[in-house]
A and B are shown apart, each in its own frame.
Chain A
């Protein structure tokens, strides 16, 4: 069966892989590229656990066919830290106990980064709506919202 050759930049590195046309970006990242940070919670775009950035836009990787990202730039949770130095969101999630089981955490970090990239000073309500596409069943969201608020403060230098 002929497979499609895809060329992308993943977390700053030029990355090539072969894929079936019907394979999701999520399965290609997990099975072909070996990055398992993005998770499948539903496969229907309802839970956000597979959130990645495709050309700076938050995307459910389960809803995109892998060949569609040819030529795109992708950021996954594995690319958030810079040479081992954690992103302020990662640090604030750790310090604020904003995770319990941790399965939704990669998706929340990506969605929160996308929010803070476009709005460095969001209100609580703006954070809650920006993260409404990411489901967490453990925390009740309280500590996640606070961690994003804290990271935003730090990133603004306050």
Chain B
């Protein structure tokens, strides 16, 4: 492990105890979204469009409503017309994606929902809803959607970000542009130039838990929702908007969440469950089948990306030109904006143009997926950089070191970087035995790097000291990968009491202050900072109580190792336990709240080293060795930092080698299950070696940077570069499946 800065004597931060929620999860007690049963609860089922693009002529629910056990049937007309109410266009899109009104825009788009006393009755009733469609021509890719005569998804959509604004509507929702310097001059100074075009398919977040929601509505308009999401405050806001009610009418309880990776930051089922519950007067549970998850949630964009880059003989990048088009699915909002900002952010490049397009098409609306937008752009840029290094005969680490962004570099997206650890990740790879491990026949080695901003946003936390001196830490950030452990470790460090004396919990929307979503790698950073703030308020309070007890000035009291100590040792120390026992006589209960806008996000960098073996007979690629080096700032909980690094890498390996959405010519998904949408399984993989780099984020009390996302940015290029090293074929279309590798080998032979 490459620790760049020594751990400054922390007792709990950086240790590996058992996570607070672990026992429930290994004994089957943990309650996930689909696990809740309420008395009188009904089962719901959603009716989905079989067509990629169609006008809804009529929906006849009479037969369904008449069936045994059916208690409610709803359609788009059961929800308010947000456009008529003057809502923001993004809210209207969320509402229309939740349940279609005039048109369906992708196969799987919701048109109706039912609730009945049993699962079987609900399924039968869903099949009995009769929808008449007028099928419309569809577009499935950015190429089809951007063609001159393409059928339009949204008839009034004028491309944003173009000056002057186009007069005609198109499927291009917006354009982004970043530029600096003089491209012609930059390419003129280059000794080697490489230009390549890359394509990637939509891929799904692939969380193992399908979306689930239970709603229990009261006749006064209030409702309680239990759902597995990455942000129950966000679910409350979106649901209230779609239902046309005040957020305060909804209470949302976060169930344990069975994976999200960005895909559970948006709503699908919650408002439907509430409306069904209102109509039926009983609680309703809605759970998606796996094929619904694939057809109607997530994924992230399919893309087309062109990259041209030039380098001088000494390895300096002189110019970069990047053009990218990202599928948004049915509604505007692909992650092309983030892609444009991250594409070349690892490097200090004097001359560049990065141009991107957000393009709608008749596929499910894309949702965030781990470092949204960045991985596809990195696949393109890091592949080209690898080729440039080969052209000038330079080591792939050295060419990256020669151009690496450091503290003070003006990032390609604008601001100057504060202290960052990109160089340290490159050096950690170089220092690792994997870098010089011997390669066998048909094996190759690839390197790639990646950048992700990480997010800050808003968080709240409450800390209660119990009467025996133990503590409860309450946050509103759903724990998706072990964050309750990070909260408890930081609280233990601040309060000076054992980790085991702290219980960290996630509270509902009525029990803790507002928290933004668990996303953007922000929870340990921002919610953690709120926990630290709250603990520091507690310590101030405890010092004041000790000063009062001893009848001394506050500055005579220090808080050391979980106890108040008199500065001159004139009084025996008062432990947290002592002070808790006396709380009734020293001012009442001991608790504190902290709410904040994150004070400073730490940019995340990852460099990865991949060894593959490719069978030239079958084209099958096997990853035989993998190393990921990532700057965590400070690893509060090293077990779960490694977990994030390893998980991101393996999702990236799946993206590189086997995962893709396959649609037929009618726009129907052909592989909506884990048999045909192949995510990596245990037997596909080696161990994933981790080098945690710690270059502290100056803006966080413990130096934390977000760690959740950047790990998925480099793998596709690392794998592709390794395949190239093994076989001398440059793969430019994901996934790099056996058939494509064989084709590339055949082309090479021609």
Contacts and interface: CB of A to CB of B under 8 A. Distances in A.
Contacts of B259: 100-101, 103, 137-138
A107 B256 CA distance: 17
B681 interface: yes
Contacts, number: 183
B646 A139 contact: yes
A27 interface: yes
Given A137-B679, A142-B687, A95 B18 contact: yes
A40 B210 contact: yes
Given A36-B31, A102-B25, A142-B688, A97 B650 contact: no
A9 interface: no
B682 A94 contact: no
B675 A44 contact: yes
In terms of DSSP, what is the predominant structure of the interface of chain B?
loop
Contacts of A103: 32, 207-209, 256, 258-259
A144 B640 CA distance: 13
Given A77-B27, A139-B643, A22 B482 contact: no
A100 B482 contact: yes
Nearest to A104: B208
B738 interface: no
Interface string B449-493: 000000000000000000000000000000011100000000000
B427 interface: no
A128 B682 contact: yes
Contacts of B210: 40-41
A30 to B, nearest CB: 8
A127 B216 CA distance: 44
Contacts of B642: 97, 142-143
Nearest to A90: B26
Contact of A78 (B25, B28, B651): B28
Nearest to B482: A100
B120 A140 contact: no
B258 A101 contact: yes
A128 B257 contact: no
Contacts of A127: 682
B342 to A, nearest CB: 22
A101 B480 contact: yes
A105 B26 contact: yes
Interface string A47-88: 101000000000000000000000000001110110000100
Contact of A132 (B261, B673, B683, B688): B683
B649 interface: yes
B688 A41 contact: no
Interface string A33-48: 0111111111110110
B10 interface: no
Interface residues of A, number: 60
A100 B643 contact: yes
A149 B361 CA distance: 47
A143 B685 CA distance: 12
B28 A140 contact: no
Given A42-B674, A90-B26, A104-B208, A137 B683 contact: no
Contacts of A133: 681
A129 B683 CA distance: 5
B59 interface: no
Nearest to B207: A137
Interface residues of B, number: 60
Interface in B196-212: 205-210
Contact of A81 (B27, B205, B209, B682): B27
Given A97-B16, A102-B30, A127-B682, A139 B35 contact: no
B27 A90 contact: yes
B23 interface: yes
Given A42-B290, A100-B481, A103-B32, A136 B27 contact: no
Q: Which of A81, A99, A109, A131 has the most CB of B within 10 A?
A: A99
B26 A109 contact: yes
B22 interface: yes
B224 interface: no
Interface in B664-683: 673-675, 679-683
Interface string B108-149: 000000000011100000000000000000000000000000
B739 interface: no
Q: Which of A37, A100, A132, A135 has the most CB of B within 10 A?
A: A100
A73 to B, nearest CB: 18
Given A97-B482, A101-B480, A140-B646, A46 B27 contact: no
Contacts of A106: 28
Contact of A41 (B31, B208, B640): B208
Contacts of A41: 208-210, 258, 290, 674
A132 B678 CA distance: 12
Contact of A144 (B18, B679, B682): B682
Contacts of A40: 34, 210, 287
A105 B209 CA distance: 12
B674 A44 contact: yes
B543 interface: no
A151 to B, nearest CB: 11
A100 B640 contact: yes
Interface in B627-658: 639-640, 642-643, 646-647, 649-651
A78 B29 CA distance: 8
A80 B27 contact: yes
A38 B209 CA distance: 12
B289 interface: yes
A101 B28 contact: no
B295 interface: no
B37 interface: yes
B91 interface: no
A31 interface: yes
B19 interface: yes
B35 A36 contact: yes
Contacts of B674: 41-42, 44, 46-47, 135
B28 A137 contact: no
A76 B26 CA distance: 11
Contacts of A22: 120
A136 B24 CA distance: 18
B21 interface: yes
Given A86-B26, A94-B18, A100-B647, A44 B673 contact: yes
Nearest to A146: B687
28 contacts: A36-B34, A38-B28, A39-B34, A39-B258, A41-B258, A41-B290, A43-B290, A44-B675, A49-B208, A78-B27, A78-B29, A80-B27, A94-B18, A95-B18, A100-B647, A101-B257, A101-B480, A102-B25, A102-B26, A102-B30, A104-B258, A109-B26, A135-B208, A137-B261, A141-B680, A141-B685, A143-B639, A143-B643
Given A41-B258, A100-B640, A145-B687, 16 more contacts: A40-B210, A41-B210, A42-B673, A90-B26, A90-B27, A96-B639, A97-B16, A99-B26, A100-B643, A102-B21, A102-B258, A103-B209, A103-B256, A133-B681, A138-B481, A140-B643
Interface of A: 20, 22, 27, 30-31, 34-44, 46-47, 49, 76-78, 80-81, 86, 90, 93-97, 99-106, 109, 125, 127-129, 131-146
The 7 closest A-B pairs by CB, nearest first: A37-B28, A103-B258, A102-B25, A140-B650, A97-B639, A140-B646, A46-B674
